[in-house]
Chains A and B, each alone.
Chain A
Amino acid sequence: MTGRDGTGLDGNEMVLNMGPQHPSTHGVLRIVLKLDGERVKSTDCIIGYLHRGVEKIAENRTYTQFAPYVDRMDYLAAVSNGLGYCLAVEKLLNAVATPRAQAVRVILTELNRIASHLLWLGTHALDIGAITPLFYTLREREAVLKIFENYCGARLTTHAFRIGGLQYELYEGFEQEVEAFCGQFLPKVDEYEELLSGNRIWRERLRGVGIIDAETCKRYGVTGPVLRAAGVGWDLRKAQPYSGYEQYEFAVPVRTGGDTLDRYFVRLDEMRESVRIIRQAVANIPAGPIMAKVPKVIKPAVGEAYVSIEAPKGELGYFIVSDGSTQPYRLRVRPPSFVNLQALDHMAKGALVADVVAIIGTIDIVLGEVDR
């Protein structure tokens, strides 16, 4: 193991430290790469730079007080985080959101999925050297953020939902605005495809890079678009529907190559499917109250529950233990980014240094969620 100079490396090996301040690591991820020339021999992810002790904070806040904190984990998909948390607490309370609230939740969550994928696409392309798509994707994302802003006043950390339903009634013209966005957004996805899918540099740069097969995905517990690009058509919205997803018709995009290019296609198709869901939901939002009958002071009975949803990045789970008081006794977040990032080592082994950038991008991590 030890080389002549006592570094543990043989003559051709070199250690390269990437991050934590590196634009392509999408935050504060540090990776220690062991290289043989240009080839990656192994990676060691060093995380925790953004650790804020979210799970500890939860134990010291009431259920209601903690709700805004979850938005700060995956801050690119704050709505999904909020949905998962609300569903978990509602499960413990044995409460179900009203049909109207459920439909609005679906619309906002899917809009958020589009926003998250758009930011991913723009920055992923930027990492690889295509600068233009970022401007287009951020333009469309802006339209989604405007809808969030009109609905709840916040653009990023929305805190849009409450335990039992929604905080706000829809504003006047919400349906038209969402429908208008859907109408103008679909052609834009084709535009991204025109810019990238047929682009020879883009294809050459992504094809066969960071391959992970279905079996390995399962062994690592990888979920989300990475799993679906490896040929497993598994999506929690279909497998274990929540919040009324069973009412909507949509497909789960699947590819079989398991490489970076296929993950790109899966995410593009997911945006199209999200539009399909949003259109169905917005066309008939049920009338009625936006809040189910939940007590003013949230005090779930003693017990525990694990509830998970399909966040844009994969399975997002909340495990809550209640001791019958107003504060969670223990709250565990199962973040998709954290678990998916583990597979980086497998995907990057044998790749070129330049491909590591593409692989980090294609896993689509948010360090706020990895570190919590």
Chain B
Amino acid sequence: MATVPWEGPIPDLLRERLGALVLETCTYLEQPFAVLTLSAMVPALTVLRDELGFDYLVDITAVDYPKRTPRFELGYVAYSYGRNERVRLKAGVGLGESPQSAVPLFLGANWLEREVLDMFGIEFAGHPDPRRILMPEEWSGYPLRKDYGILAMDNGWVQANLGIESGQ
């Protein structure tokens, strides 16, 4: 990824407030993002919201990289109505690690974090309602993990219910 360093008041303030917990501040395709250590995520969102006017949490999502440690990359997208700017924050999350919930900062994080739990099995510490959201409650496994193959699932269902090979 051919990134360009991200400079300006936002990365400067993030570095000033969080110091070495900010690992990287770059832009790719003119889109700025910061890589943080996981424990700095909620503090960084607080700085963004309270000091820089990022009052809209657009999205929370994760990406699974089975071969990396930590395995997951948790990503937040924040937007500021006043500045008309969008930034992304990213942090690595290991298997079994629990990032802090952002619900106290942004109510909208509630369902977004539930979806990350549902799809990746990342539990958020302090989440008010940690249930699955899209998959049925009794579902086992986390569909968006890379080791969750769609063919294996298809085979499993066809064998269990029809007693034949699925042929897919």
In the complex, whether A299 has a CB less than 8 A from a CB of chain B is: no
In the complex, whether A251 has a CB less than 8 A from a CB of chain B is: no
Which of B29, B111, B135 has a CB less than 8 Å from the CB of A342? B111
Within the complex, what minimum Cβ distance (angstroms) separates B79 from chain A? 9
Within the complex, what minimum Cβ distance (angstroms) separates A39 from chain B? 22
Cβ–Cβ contact A218 & B81, under 8 A: yes
Cβ–Cβ contact A342 & B108, under 8 A: yes
Cβ–Cβ contact A319 & B77, under 8 A: yes
Which of B29, B56, B107 has a CB less than 8 Å from the CB of A91? B29
Q: Which of A7-15, A51-59, A179-187, A352-360 contacts B (4 or more CB under 8 A)?
A: A51-59
In the complex, whether A48 has a CB less than 8 A from a CB of chain B is: yes
In the complex, whether A303 has a CB less than 8 A from a CB of chain B is: yes
What residue in chain A is nearest B115 (Cβ atoms)? A338
In the complex, whether B21 has a CB less than 8 A from a CB of chain A is: no
In the complex, whether B86 has a CB less than 8 A from a CB of chain A is: yes
Most buried by B among A48, A305, A372: A48
Which of A221, A329, A332 has a CB less than 8 Å from the CB of B57? A221
Bound together, the chains give a CA A332 to CA B63 distance in angstroms of 9
The residues of B that contact A308 with a CB separation of less than 8 Å are 58
Cβ–Cβ contact B134 & A220, under 8 A: no
Bound together, the chains give a CA A219 to CA B61 distance in angstroms of 18
Bound together, the chains give a CA A287 to CA B110 distance in angstroms of 48
In the complex, whether B7 has a CB less than 8 A from a CB of chain A is: no
Which of B29, B58, B61, B81 has a CB less than 8 Å from the CB of A305? B29
- Interface residues of A toward B: which range? 35 or more
Cβ–Cβ contact B1 & A302, under 8 A: yes
Within the complex, what minimum Cβ distance (angstroms) separates B78 from chain A? 10
Within the complex, what minimum Cβ distance (angstroms) separates A147 from chain B? 32
In the complex, whether B97 has a CB less than 8 A from a CB of chain A is: no
In the complex, whether A60 has a CB less than 8 A from a CB of chain B is: yes
Cβ–Cβ contact B108 & A221, under 8 A: yes
The residues of B that contact A60 with a CB separation of less than 8 Å are 150
Cβ–Cβ contact A92 & B29, under 8 A: yes
Within the complex, what minimum Cβ distance (angstroms) separates A87 from chain B? 12
Bound together, the chains give a CA A216 to CA B58 distance in angstroms of 14
In the complex, whether B55 has a CB less than 8 A from a CB of chain A is: yes
Bound together, the chains give a CA A301 to CA B88 distance in angstroms of 19
Within the complex, what minimum Cβ distance (angstroms) separates A321 from chain B? 6
What residue in chain B is nearest A221 (Cβ atoms)? B108
Cβ–Cβ contact B108 & A220, under 8 A: yes
In the complex, whether A232 has a CB less than 8 A from a CB of chain B is: yes
What residue in chain A is nearest B111 (Cβ atoms)? A342
In the complex, whether A21 has a CB less than 8 A from a CB of chain B is: no
The B1-34 residues at the A interface (CB cut-off 8 A) are 1-2, 28-29, 31
Per-residue CB contact flags for chain A residues 220-240 toward chain B (1 = under 8 Å, else 0) read 111000000000101000011
The residues of A that contact B161 with a CB separation of less than 8 Å are none
Bound together, the chains give a CA A334 to CA B57 distance in angstroms of 11
Known: A219-B108, A338-B111, A342-B111. A317 touches B59 (CB 8 A): yes
Bound together, the chains give a CA A216 to CA B108 distance in angstroms of 10
Cβ–Cβ contact A304 & B143, under 8 A: no
Cβ–Cβ contact B143 & A221, under 8 A: no
Which of A56, A91, A339 has a CB less than 8 Å from the CB of B150? A56
Bound together, the chains give a CA A342 to CA B134 distance in angstroms of 14
Cβ–Cβ contact B29 & A315, under 8 A: no
In the complex, whether A371 has a CB less than 8 A from a CB of chain B is: yes
Bound together, the chains give a CA A48 to CA B143 distance in angstroms of 13
In the complex, whether A306 has a CB less than 8 A from a CB of chain B is: yes
In the complex, whether B133 has a CB less than 8 A from a CB of chain A is: yes
Within the complex, what minimum Cβ distance (angstroms) separates B81 from chain A? 6
The residues of A that contact B81 with a CB separation of less than 8 Å are 218, 232, 234
In the complex, whether A47 has a CB less than 8 A from a CB of chain B is: yes
Which of B28, B106, B108, B135 has a CB less than 8 Å from the CB of A48? B135
Bound together, the chains give a CA A235 to CA B132 distance in angstroms of 32
Within the complex, what minimum Cβ distance (angstroms) separates A307 from chain B? 9
- With A221-B58, A232-B81 known, 5 other A-B pairs at CB within 8 A are A53-B143, A57-B150, A330-B64, A332-B61, A372-B134
What are 25 A-B contacts with C-beta separation under 8 Å? Answer: A48-B132, A51-B134, A56-B143, A57-B150, A91-B29, A92-B29, A220-B106, A220-B107, A221-B106, A221-B108, A222-B108, A239-B84, A301-B1, A301-B2, A305-B28, A305-B31, A306-B31, A306-B88, A315-B58, A319-B75, A321-B63, A330-B63, A334-B58, A334-B61, A339-B108
Seen from chain B, the residues whose Cβ lies within 8 Å of a Cβ on chain A are 1-2, 28-29, 31, 55-59, 61, 63-64, 75, 77, 81, 84, 86, 88, 106-108, 110-112, 119, 132-136, 143-144, 148, 150
Q: Which 3 pairs from chain A and chain B are nearest by CB? A: A221-B108, A48-B134, A303-B1
